[in-house]
Every structure is written in C-alpha cells, then in structure tokens.
C-alpha cells in the first residue's frame, strides 16, 4: 500500500505534535522510522493506522483517506509497544479476534509463530510477562499479513534471541509475501540491516527521508594524526570529533568524491563507515547542544521542542 502524507499536522489541544510533515512511501518496502522520545513517531503511526484524525493536511493510503474508512483500515495493522492484546483473555482469544478483523490472516503461520516464540494458546494474556505479550503482538502483526503493517517498538519486551528470531521471521515472510512495513525502533543497529529506506523525525518534523544505503554513504569517519584530520576536514560538515593523544577521529557528513578520498590517502588518513545509530544521534542533536548545521536537516534554532507524545488511550 502506497502512503502519501502532505503537510500533516496533529495537535493535542494547543500543543502541536506533528508540524507540516510531507513524504511519500512506495509500496512493498521495509521502512525504518527513527526519532528520539517525544519526536512524534507514535502520533504519526496512529494517524497512518486511522487511530487518530489529522488536525490538518492530508493522509492517503492507496489514494484513499484512512480515518473512519473501513475499506482501508481493514488492510492496515499497527502493533504498538504494549501489544494490542492485553486484557483480551487467552492467547487463543487474541488470535480469534485477530483472524476476525484481518482478511489476510494466515492461521497456520500464526500457529508456527506461537511455537517459535514458545507461547501457549491457553495462557491468560494478563498473566503473561511483557516479553510474552510483545511476542504475541509480533505474532498478530506477522500472521495478519496486512498490506500495510506497522510495529511501534512492539518488540522491546522481548529478549535478544526472541528479537533476532523476529527479524528472521519478518524478513523471510516479507520475501514470500511482500507488503509495506514500517518499523519504529530505538534499537537502530539491530534493525538497520532490514531498512530499505529511513525516515528520521525530530520534534514533529521530517529531518531526513532517504534510502538506507544513501544515508550511510553520506557519513564517513576520518582517523589519523590530529593536525592532519583537522586540516582535511576544514570546510566539511563535521558532526563530532574525538581525540586520544595525538590521534583524532572526526565524523563527517556529506559525500566525499574520489579526489577528496585520494587526498585522505595521501595524507595517511584512514576513512571508514559510520553506523546508522551514530548518524541518527547527531542528526537529531538538540538545538541547544551546538550541533553543526547539517545539509537537508533544516535549521531550527530557538524553536520550542515538541511535547512528549501522550500515552495510553490518548494515542
């Protein structure tokens, strides 16, 4: 399902959580949605899922509005951080309602996922651990095979082996049953290899939307004698510099052409990649932390920070 968002605004009373956001997502890709706490991730996903009405602008999924449009929301699944099944009864009850609500439900796949995550059908959801409830939410999200499937930190309660099992299951099922998937996560390094494209939002605004490999290609670490690193990076956008004795390492944002890379080699400098998480941290640096102006980021000095997103039913 293709997504088109134009000048989206979402207000909670006199507080603006999403401020003029515009982007388009093609169908059949896995997208990473990144942002600090309170950046607007949950609010954005809630609007895309039809849980909340936009205050302004437009949201279209396959060319159609989402809010109170059953023809669209039946093909959309959002599994949030607490799961969608708490208090619903047993695991079996949760799967019954999931199958009733989701026209693309695969019961056999749901059973296989229950076995994979060690979940019992007769277990009472209220008495399950957070990790088990997270796993149940993942089962609902994967087995639903909704054309638009979104996970909002829904795997945080799972331990590392379970999370890696989720990654493997998601990728394998996506290859067999392509759909549009949006993953909102703080576990950037664990997930970055899954992302085809990345959206970074900060204080309710879109900071960056690009292919994952393009984002990574724009970040380069420059390491070597401190004075040579300083000379080489002069005039470049330097996100961060660290020094240990006579050696320095600078994090540079921007494309380095072959001529520049040749200069680095001649100067005896080592060039290397930057992790997605490091780029994210510096691209969303609070305005008061004297972060350098990053091309494409948009200057926001002096603007008030967006409020934390409401929790619970308000979402």
Q: Which residue has the higher pLDDT, 217 or 19?
A: 19
CB burial of residue 296 (10 Å; 0-12, 13-18, 19+): exposed
Using the predicted structure, report yes or no on whether residue 199 has a pLDDT greater than 70.
yes
Average pLDDT of the segment spanning 201-215 = 90
- Measured CA to CA in angstroms, residue 33 lies from 152, 187, 204, 246 at distances of 9, 11, 13, 38
Domains of the chain (ranges, CATH numbers): 3-203 (3.40.50.300), 215-289 (3.30.70.240)
The model carries a pTM of 0.83
Q: Region 70-74: what's the mean pLDDT?
A: 91
Per the model's pLDDT, the better-predicted residue between 198 and 304 turns out to be 198
Is the pLDDT higher at 166 or at 85? 166
Of the two residues 169 and 313, the one the predictor is more confident about is: 169
- Residues 6 or more apart from 290 whose CB is under 8 A from it? none
- The C-alpha atoms of residue 54 and residue 113 are separated, in whole angstroms, by 35
Q: Rounded to whole angstroms, what are the CA distances from 143 to 52, 163, 241, 302? A: 24, 16, 46, 46
Considering 17-21, 279-283, 290-294, the range whose residues carry the highest mean pLDDT is: 17-21
Retrieve residue 147's tokens: 């054309």
Per-residue confidence at 312, pLDDT binned at 50, 70, 90? very low
Q: State phi, psi for 136 to the nearest 5 degrees.
A: -65, -40
Arithmetic mean of pLDDT over the chain: 86
Segment 259-278, tens digit of pLDDT: 989 999 999 999 998 888 88
Handedness of CA 175, 180, 186, 192 (dihedral sign): positive
Instruction: State the CB neighbour count (10 A cutoff) for residue 14.
Output: 5
Query: Is residue 279 packed enough to be buried (19+ CB in 10 Å), middle (13-18) or exposed (0-12)?
Result: buried
The Cα–Cα gap between 214 and 313 comes to 37
pLDDT confidence bin for 24, thresholds 50/70/90: very high
pLDDT at 296: 46
- What local confidence, expressed as pLDDT, does residue 303 receive? 39
Judged against a pLDDT cut of 70, whether residue 29 lies above it is answered with: yes
Helices 130-143, 160-176: crossing angle, 10 deg rounding: 0
The pLDDT of residue 277 is: 86
Letter string b/e over residues 185-212, b meaning 16 or more CB atoms within 10 A of that residue's CB: beebeebbebbebbbbbbbbbbbbbeeb
What is the reported pLDDT for 219? 86
Q: Residue 116 — φ and ψ, nearest 5°?
A: -60, -40
What tens digit of pLDDT does each residue of 95-143 get?
999 999 899 999 999 999 999 999 999 999 888 888 899 999 999 999 9
Q: Could you read off the pLDDT of 142-198 as tens digits, one per residue?
A: 999 999 999 998 877 888 999 999 999 999 999 999 999 999 988 888 888 889 999
Print the SS3 string covering 8-74: EEEEECCEEEEEEEEEEECCCCEEEEECCCCCCHHHHHHHHCCCCCCCEEEEEECCEECCCCHHHHC
């Amino acid at each position: 399902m293709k997504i088109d968002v134009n000048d989206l605004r979402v207000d909670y009373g006199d507080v603006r959580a999403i401020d003029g956001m515009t982007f388009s997502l093609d169908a059949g890709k896995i997208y990473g949605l990144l942002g600090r706490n309170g950046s607007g991730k949950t609010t954005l996903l809630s609007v895309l899922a039809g849980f909340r009405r936009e205050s302004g602008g437009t949201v279209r999924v396959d060319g159609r509005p989402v809010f109170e449009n059953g023809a669209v929301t039946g093909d959309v699944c959002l599994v949030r951080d607490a799961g969608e099944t708490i208090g619903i009864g047993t695991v079996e009850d949760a799967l019954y309602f999931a199958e009733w609500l989701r026209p693309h439900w695969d019961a056999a796949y749901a059973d296989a996922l229950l076995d994979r995550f060690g979940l019992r059908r007769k277990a009472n959801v209220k008495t399950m651990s957070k990790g088990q409830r997270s796993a149940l939410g993942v089962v609902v999200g994967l087995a639903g095979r909704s054309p638009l499937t979104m996970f909002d930190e829904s795997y945080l309660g799972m331990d590392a082996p379970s999370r890696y099992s989720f990654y493997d299951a998601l990728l394998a099922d996506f290859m067999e049953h392509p759909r549009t998937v949006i993953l909102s996560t703080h576990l950037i390094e664990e997930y970055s290899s899954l992302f085809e494209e990345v959206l970074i939002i900060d204080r309710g605004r879109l900071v960056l939307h690009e292919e994952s490999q393009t984002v990574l290609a724009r970040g380069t670490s420059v390491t070597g004698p401190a004075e040579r690193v300083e000379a080489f990076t002069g005039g470049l956008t330097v996100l961060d510099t660290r020094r240990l004795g006579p050696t320095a390492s600078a994090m540079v944002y921007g494309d380095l052409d072959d001529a520049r890379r040749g200069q680095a080699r001649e100067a005896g400098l080592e060039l290397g990649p930057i992790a997605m998480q490091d780029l994210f941290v510096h691209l969303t640096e609070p305005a008061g932390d004297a972060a350098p102006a990053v091309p494409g980021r948009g200057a926001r000095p002096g603007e008030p920070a967006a409020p934390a997103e409401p929790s619970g039913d308000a979402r």
